[in-house]
Structure formats: C-alpha cells, structure tokens
Amino acid sequence: MRALARLALATVVVAAPLAAVVAAQAADDPTPVTILASDFEDNTVQGWTGRSAETLAVSTTVAHGGAHSLAVTGRTATWNGPSLNVLGTFEKGTAYTISAWVRLADGSDNARLSVERRTDGTATYETVVGNTAVTSTGWVQLTGHYTLSADVDFLTVYVETASTTASLYLDDVTASYVPALPVQTGIPAVKDVVTEFPVGAAITGAEITTLHGDLLARHFSSITPGNALKWDATEPTENAFSYTQADPLIAFAKAHAMKVRGHTLVWHNQTPAWVFQDAAGATMTATAENKALLLARLENHIRNVAAHYGDTIGTWDVVNEVIDESQSDGMRRSDWYTITGLDYIRTAFKVAREVAPSAKLCINDYNTNVAAKRDALYRLVVELKGEGVPIDCVGHQMHVNVSWPSIADTEAMLRKFEGIGVEQQITEMDVSIYTSSGESFPAPPADRLLSQAYLYRDMFALFRKYRTDLTSVTLWGLADDNTWLDTYPVARKDAPLLFDTRLQAKSAYWGVVDPSKIGGTSSPSASASPSVSPSVSASAGAGGCAVTYRVTGSWAGGFQGEVTISNSGTAVVSGWKLGWQFTAGQTVAQLWNGSVTQSGSAVTVTNAAWNGTIAPGGSASAGFLGSWTGSNPAPTAFTVNGAACTVL
Ligand code: XIL
C-alpha cells in the first residue's frame, strides 16, 4: 500500500515555509486558525495510531519542542508510520497548511507526509509533502498545503518513509488555515466584462462548496472538472464506471446555467495500469492482439463516459498531450501511441462523435505557443482532418508564467490554426509567479503580482481580439488557495489565478476586468513584453555560469539530486545544455525540469521549454533520481553550452 503520487514530479520537494506565506499576507489577514496541534507534552500519543502493527509510544529520548516526542518502532514496511484521524477536523474546500517534524532513530531515508481519504471504501492517497531527506542527527520539518476536495468517510494524515523501516520520531504536528473573507459583491463579474466567449475555471469538489461556489458562480460561465473526468476517476477498474467525483460538479454547472468542458477522455497520465495490461495481466507490448484489446477498451470507455453526460458536456478534450515535438514524427511515445500508432486518436474522435454528436471535440496540448510544438500539432490536425477524423477544436492549455511567453508567440499560436476549420480554446490558463523551478517565495512578491496582472491584461486583450477563432477561455483553478502549481513542478506556494488565497480579487483580476485599476508603480512593459529576445543565441552569457550540485536524498543504491545553473554573466542565456562527468559510475534514471541523456559517465541535461531562458543573475534548476554503488561523489566540473562553469 504505497502512497500514490498523482504525478511523479509531485514527489520533488523544495522546502517552502508555507506558514510564513500565511503570516506574511495582507495586513488585514487574521492569524491562521490552528485546528490540530500534537506536541505529546501531556505524555500521551494524542490520538495517533500506527498504519499497521508498529508501536507508538511517547518518548523523551529526543524532542523537537518541549521534552516529549512520539516514537514509532517496529515498522515492517516503508508505508508503516504514524497516522491521525482528521475526519471531521478537515473541511472540504478549506486550504490547510500542515507541518510535522520528523527524525529517524537510525540511518537516513526520505520521509513524506500524505493524506489518505476514502469514499465508499475507495482509497486515494494524496502527497502533501514529497520525499524529503531525514536522518537520525536532527529534526526535519515537513510542511505543505492540502485542500480536501471530496466527500469522505475516512480521512487520515500520515508519515511514511521511502526505503527503510527505521524507527522514527514525530513531533509538533500542526494544521492551520486562514479563513476566507466574504466574496466581494461590489466588483464586476469576469463573465459580464468578457462577453466574447465563455470564461471558465477548472474545479475540484472543493470549489462548489459555500464561499468557493459563490465565487465560481458569480464570475465564471463555464467549468472544467480538473480531475474528476480523467480515466482513473471514471473507470478505475475495467468496466466499473464511477461518476461520484464528477456528477456533483456537473450538477453545480447545470444549476447555475454554466457550460462544461469535459477533460479528458484519453491521456497518458492518470490512467490506471490495467488499461495497458494484456489479457494475462502482463504489461502490453506492441502486438496486433494488444492493439485490438486497447482500442476496444478505449471505445468502451468513451461510449460509457460520453453517454453518461450526453448533451450536458458541450466540449470534450478527446485527447490530451499527444504531441512530442522532439520525436521525428512529432508524436509522444505514450503507451497509447506505441501500441496503436495514430489509431487511438482516430478511434477516440470517431467514437466520441458517435456518442456525443453535438459536442465540440478538441485535441488539447501545452506549450502550443512554442513554434516546434504548435507546428507538430498543426501537422497532425491537418493530417487527421484530411482523413475525416472529426476534430472540431484545438485546445491551448496556456500554463504560463509572469515572464513567458511573449504576446507575439501567443498570437502566432492562434494564427497558426486559423483557416483549417477548427475552433480554438484556451483550456487551462494559469500564470505562475515563478520563472524558474529553483525559485520559492515565502509570499508572492508585489512585482511578480503586478507582472502577472499585466500579462493577464495583455493575454485577455489578445484573446478578445481573436474572438472569431476562440470559443472559450478557461483558467486552471478558481483561487490561489487551491492550485496544482503548489506541488508542480516542485512544492512551493504559487499564486497563478485571479483571486487570492482568501478569495479576494487580485491585480490579475483587474488585468482582465479593468486594467486601469491594476495599480502599483512598476513598468507594465517590463512584464507585458518578453524580457528576452529570441534572437539571443545559446551561450553561457559573457563568460559566467556557476553550478550547484546537491544530493538531496540518498538511500541504498539510489539518490535524489538537484543541479542549479546560475547565470553570473551579463548576457541572457537562451537555451542551455548542462554537462558533467560522474566519477563513480552513477547514472541518472529520471529527471524533471529538463531532459537528460547519459553516455558512459557523461551526462547532458537540456532545458525544458519553460526554463531555457536565464537572465543575468537568474538561475534554473533540474532535479533527478539516480543510482550509485560503492560511493556517490559529486561531480567536480560542469559546463553550460560547452563553457566551463564555476562550481559552487
Ligand atoms: C492536473 C491537476 O490539476 C492536478 O490536480 C493533478 O494532480 C495533475 O493534473 N495539464 C492537464 C491537466 O491537461 O489535466 C493537469 O491537471 C495539468 C496539466
């Protein structure tokens, strides 16, 4: 029973002092309300139990605060650990900050903090704080952010480890929240101002309750269930369909006369493993038999899910993220593709059209503002439409940040798909306050919020200009208290939406609704136009780069690492390749925030689309999982775009 990270990347952790975020907000913020505090100072276990047969007892051997902690001994599996029932303590829709101090009795490992929730006997494991290195030599704080999004009949907070069964200590566990303020009534509704197309928000169960529901219905005219219509939610086991997550969201939309975007029928993520297992339960290989089985499952899935909602869902993201522009044919090497080729896309659209004849059928992808990506998507759409595949629309996700992309690139994206007989939709827009994965702010800096407001202003002006092409614009979330960017690509508090953590209108809201009210003093053009000219060639930037290499966690045979490139030169780095040599046979198994190749001991990491640009003084980071035997020394030399860097 391992905790399932919903995305592998969610296991990466940057210690983000979330309590500080709460404390550092607007002056009218009340103190966070603490709803749980376990310090074990009364010499009892304060309701904590083991997840299995391990032993929990108060200890005075070590303590983080006071004289007592909770000792957990006799663990026989990594998932064993201390667990606290919080059913009735955590309310749906409220964003909690959870903090726990952990220390091992022996050795070193990674610990994580999670929530287990169950609805009608089905368990879901949600990572609050991913793998974080812990040892026996000191206390480590696990702190993260959690919003319960479903009605549950079982709810616990627990701590487990990644690889060993060492005894551990727990102390000073707290959970707190900052109460939302009343929904503002004296400001215009976004949907009343932007009338060219429906404006939507992606939602979870948390967003249809009380204040969140009021805010949603007041400002938005469309919803997209953020997770509830994905395959793992609707058909967790074969042919056993479940609509318990999505139905309440769709009912809310109906009750408020809102449109619904169905997201998504086919994706490579959040799809249960059984889908890609053959009749004997083995992982499918690319055989004709497996292809037939997979396409039959796909057809059965779409027939059930699309039929369940009929006309209520006006638009479907039929396929999601099928493009990989780095492949020669532009196609992502998902199991779908390797087993069926393009037939999964053909089948998905054909069956969706048959079952939902009046729904608009979209192909949805991210980074379509990047030329190579949009060109690959364009080629595919033209090819498939040429064959008669019923593609009605192209969805642009638009997960962007305060300094990327430029309006020009975004306009090029929209123009590319004009005149080929498709509508276009902005399907998942959010504007991260971070410009690289190495950043983490205790509270959103004022200048970033201002840049964000100007970016929203300029993007919405562009979208409205393209009203004949664009048929909807959806934001990936309602308010900053509940955003997927709090855990992706690393754990840190982000603030990418129009309303803040207390549901109040941000400058970003005014950027959309009335830019004259944005306020602040920094120059709009600094954010509205790209700070980087695309013509700057790849270089390490007038002779300056510095690299930090850190092992952030280590266990028998494996380790987690992080590399950060700092641009200490005077020119912008536009696209980077970082190289190093391992000296003890280590290998990189998996890397995030970039892509990796390894040849012998030589490792090359290439930037991801969103962190290729490093301004002078700026930095970019990538994290990875590696393996080692014997010893694991850090590399001593690094190059960026071929030039040697200072090692920090
Ligand atoms: C995200 C959800 O918001 C998260 O809650 C979940 O853990 C992972 O998926 N592109 C997509 C969406 O198409 O489905 C993703 O949604 C965000 C990126």
pLDDT in tens, 414-423: 999 999 999 9
Average the pLDDT over each of 320-334, 500-514, 519-533, 548-562 and give the range with the smallest value. Answer: 519-533
Whole-angstrom Cα Rg for the chain:
25
Q: For residues 66 and 55, give the distance between their C-alpha atoms in angstroms, rounded to a whole number.
A: 22
Rounded Cα distance, 37 and 138, in Å: 21
Cα separation, 281 vs 61, in Å, equals: 48
In angstroms, what is the span from residue 430 Cα to ligand 1's centroid?
12
Q: How confident is the model at residue 130 (pLDDT cuts 50, 70, 90)?
A: confident
At residue 17 the predicted structure's pLDDT band, cuts being 50, 70 and 90, is very low
Rounded mean pLDDT, 121-143? 92
Specify whether the CB–CB gap between 562 and 622 falls below 8 A: yes
- SS3 for 214-279 is HHHHHHCCEEEECCCCCHHHHCCECCECCCCCHHHHHHHHHHCCCEEEEEEEECCCCCCHHHHECC
Q: Which of 365, 486, 494, 562 is catalytic?
A: 365
**Does residue 484 line the site of ligand 1, with CB under 6 A?**
yes
Cα separation values, 569 from 122, 445, 546, 606, 616, Å? 54, 25, 9, 19, 6
Question: What is the pTM assigned to this prediction?
Answer: 0.72
Tell me the best of 319, 398, 428, 430 to mutate to test the pocket of ligand 1, counting ligand atoms within 8 Å of each CB and taking the most.
428
**Contact (Cβ atoms closer than 8 angstroms) between residue 486 and residue 145:** yes
Does residue 448 register a pLDDT over 60? yes
Residue 538 Cβ contacting ligand 1 at under 6 Å: no
- Greater confidence (129 vs 386) lies with 386
- For helices 343-355 and 288-309, give the axis angle rounded to 10 degrees: 30
Give the distance (Å) from ligand 1 centre to CA of residue 333.
19
Task: Check pocket membership of 524 for ligand 1, CB cut-off 6 A.
Answer: no
**Is residue 91 among the annotated active site residues?**
no
Mutate which of 316, 334, 476 for ligand 1 pocket (most atoms within 8 A of beta carbon): 476
- Which residue bears the tokens 């629309």? 393
- Cα separations in angstroms, 379 against 329, 372, 385, 420, 496: 10, 11, 10, 11, 31
Reduce the DSSP state of residue 379 to 3 states and report it.
Answer: helix
Ligand 1 atom with the smallest distance to the CA of 204 is: 5
Q: What's the pLDDT score for residue 21?
A: 32
Contact 234, 246 (CB under 8 A): yes
Residues 194 and 95: beta-carbon distance below 8 Å: no
CA distance 216 to 196: 19
Beta bridge partners of 579: 604, 639
Buried/exposed 140-149: b ≥16 CB within 10 Å, e otherwise = bbbbbbbbbb
- Indicate if the pLDDT at residue 536 is higher than 50: no
Give strand pairing partners of 146.
96
Closest-CA residue, ligand 1 atom 12, reads 226
Q: Whose CA is nearest to atom 16 of ligand 1?
A: 226
What was the pLDDT predicted at 65? 95
- In this predicted structure, what is the pLDDT of residue 29? 52
Query: To 5 degrees, how large is the angle CA 106–CA 162–CA 170?
Result: 55
- 28 pLDDT tier (thresholds 50, 70, 90): low
What is the per-residue pLDDT for 56? 98
Residue 10 reports pLDDT greater than 50: no
Contact 276, 285 (CB under 8 A): no
Q: pLDDT band for 453, please (50, 70, 90 cuts).
A: very high
428 lines ligand 1 (CB under 6 A): yes
Res 400 pLDDT > 80: yes
Q: Which of 126, 316, 364, 484 to mutate to test the pocket of ligand 1 (most atoms within 8 A of CB)?
A: 484
pLDDT for residue 554 = 72
CA of 227 to the centre of ligand 1 (A): 7
Cα 28 to averaged position of ligand 1 atoms, centre (Å):
32
- pLDDT in the model for residue 241: 97
C-alpha–C-alpha distance, residues 561 and 190, integer Å: 43
Assign 292 to helix, strand or coil. helix
What pLDDT does residue 511 have?
A: 97
pLDDT digits (tens, 9 = 90+) for 277-298: 998 999 999 999 999 999 999 9
- Asked if 160 is an active-site residue, the reply is no
Number of Cβ within a 10 Å radius of residue 464: 15
- In the numeric block, the tokens 């012998």 are attached to 600
Give the span between the Cα atoms of 555 and 14, in whole angstroms.
19
* CA distances (Å), origin 611, targets 399, 439, 484, 597: 13, 11, 18, 18
**Is residue 261 within 6 Å of ligand 1 at its C-beta?**
no
Q: Does residue 397 have its Cβ closer than 6 Å to ligand 1?
A: yes
Which of 114-118, 446-450, 640-644 has the least mean pLDDT?
640-644
User: What average pLDDT does range 22-32 have in this prediction?
Assistant: 51
Angstrom distance (rounded) from CA 103 to CA 481: 29
SS3 (DSSP) at 531: coil
State how far the Cα of 306 lies from the Cα of 250, in Å rounded to an integer. 13
C-alpha 133/C-alpha 139 separation (Å) is 10
54 is annotated as an active-site residue: no
Cα-to-centroid distance, 642 and ligand 1 (Å): 36
Q: Tell me the CA–centroid distance for residue 577 and ligand 1, in Å.
A: 28
Lowest model confidence (mean pLDDT) among 57-61, 403-407, 600-604:
600-604
Q: Beta strand 259-266 with 315-320: parallel, antiparallel or unpaired?
A: parallel
> Scanning the structure block, which residue is given the tokens 């009749």?
279
Higher-scoring residue by pLDDT: 190, 32: 190
Yes or no: say if 545 and 640 are a contact pair by the CB < 8 Å rule.
yes
- pLDDT-derived band at 86, boundaries 50, 70, 90: very high
Q: Count each helix (H run) and each strand (E run) in the chain, helices first.
A: 13, 32
Could you tell me the distance, in angstroms and rounded to a whole number, from the CA of residue 374 to the centre of ligand 1?
A: 20
**Atom of ligand 1 lying closest to residue 264 CA:** 14
Are 66 and 41 in contact by the 8 Å Cβ rule? The answer is yes
Quote the pLDDT of residue 428.
98
- Whether pLDDT at 532 is above 60: no
| Ligand 1 centroid distance, CA of 226 (Å) | 6
C-beta 7 within 6 A of ligand 1: yes
Do 234 and 241 contact (CB within 8 A), yes or no? yes
Residue 525, pLDDT above cutoff 60: no
- Confirm or reject: Cβ of 126 under 6 Å from ligand 1: no
CA distance 241 to 227: 15
Are residues 92 and 151 in contact, defined by beta-carbon separation less than 8 angstroms? yes
Reading the block at residue 317, the tokens are 């993201």
Q: Per-residue pLDDT averaged across 386-393, rounded?
A: 98
What is the CA(348)–ligand 1 centre distance, in A? 20
26 confidence band (pLDDT: 50, 70, 90): very low
Which residue's CA is minimally distant from atom 4 of ligand 1? 484
At residue 403, φ and ψ (nearest 5 deg) are -125, 15
- Identify the three-state secondary structure at position 96: strand
SS3 308: helix
Digit-coded pLDDT (tens) for 351-379: 999 999 999 999 999 999 999 999 999 99
Query: Which of 39, 54, 116, 321 is flagged as catalytic?
Result: 321
Active-site residue (options: 335, 428, 439, 494): 428
Residue nearest ligand 1's atom 13 by CA: 320
pLDDT, mean of residues 568-584: 89
Span 346-350, average pLDDT: 98
Cα–Cα distance, 300 to 566 (Å, whole number): 50
Ligand 1, from 147, 269, 316, 399: best to mutate by most atoms within 8 Å of Cβ? Answer: 269
Per-residue confidence (pLDDT) for residue 20, from 0 to 100 = 31
Determine if ligand 1 sits within 6 Å of the CB of residue 226: yes
Q: What is the percent of the chain with per-residue pLDDT over 90, rounded to a whole number?
A: 73
CA of 263 to the centre of ligand 1 (A): 10
